[in-house]
Homo-oligomer: A and B are copies of this chain.
Amino acid sequence: MGAVMGAPTRRTRVRREPEYGVYDRAAIDAILDEGLVGHLGVIGDGGQPFVLPVGYGRDGDDVLVHGSTASRLFRAAAAGAPVCLTVTLLDGVVLARSTFSSTMNYRSVVVLGTATAVTDEAGKLAALRCLSERLAPGHFDYSRAPLPQELKATTVLRLPLTEASAKVRRGPPHDEADDYDLPIWAGVVPLALTAGQPEPDPAVPPDRPTPPHVREWARRRTR
């Protein structure tokens, strides 16, 4: 902790394939601002690590993570247990001339540190707005606002981006020099998380139109 932002610490320096390591905040933010789900690592009973899929959002120099007040792991994280939040965007399958060089194209961010719980009502409301905007921009102002009892039932963790790094692999395969002469096709099958047409809840009256923010969300993620 306490590292200069943008400079890797001993713990965040990308050791494996260091040529893929990225430490500038703009690159880290761009990955965080594109993902929809993160994976939160917390140590549970008996030293067992748990990895949970979580909603998250970036609020300036912090990431906010959304959980339930009733979750033991979230309570442990809120009490200061060390955590790791990893966000991975899968961009393609890299099919090399050799099995060994075949890999994935991806962009991932790893954030290490200690989280604090957002406890005051105004802070929780602002945090839920941030988390909701990551999930679906515009839906917070469109939908029914959180009630006090809903805020109470929600744990929001704030994790500073002080110790964060990204790893990015893109482009064609890197094969061994000799393998380029083999009569083998190599390349990338690009992948993206794409949206289909919005599906109204069956309880929504058929004459109620899909609101613009939902249509826009789906449009932006259509291949």
- What is the bound-complex CA distance between A171 and B145, given in angstroms? 22
A50–B41 touching, CB < 8 Å = yes
Kindly provide the distance from the CB of A14 to the nearest chain B CB, expressed in whole angstroms.
11
Q: What is the interface of chain A mostly: helix, strand, loop, or mixed?
A: mixed
A143–B96 touching, CB < 8 Å = yes
Instruction: Write out the residue numbers on chain B whose beta carbons fall within 8 Å of the beta carbon of A189.
Output: 136, 195-196, 198-199, 214, 217-218, 221
Kindly provide the distance from the CB of A89 to the nearest chain B CB, expressed in whole angstroms.
10
B48–A106 touching, CB < 8 Å = no
Closest to A167 in B: B53
A51–B135 touching, CB < 8 Å = no
Q: Looking at the complex, which one of B185, B210, B218 makes contact with A214 (CB distance below 8 Å)?
A: B185
- Among A95, A173, A186, A210, which residue has the most Cβ atoms of chain B within 10 A? A95
A132–B102 touching, CB < 8 Å = yes
Selecting from A22-30, A57-65, A115-123, A200-208, the interface stretch reads: A200-208
How many chain-A residues does the 8 Å CB contact rule pick out? 97
A6 in the interface (beta carbon within 8 A): no
- Among A37, A43, A192, A201, which residue has the most Cβ atoms of chain B within 10 A? A201
A4 in the interface (beta carbon within 8 A): no
Q: Mark A126-153, 1 if CB is under 8 A from B, else 0.
A: 0010001001100110111111001001
Can you list 5 A-B pairs with a CB-CB distance of less than 8 A? A15-B72, A50-B110, A99-B145, A185-B214, A187-B198
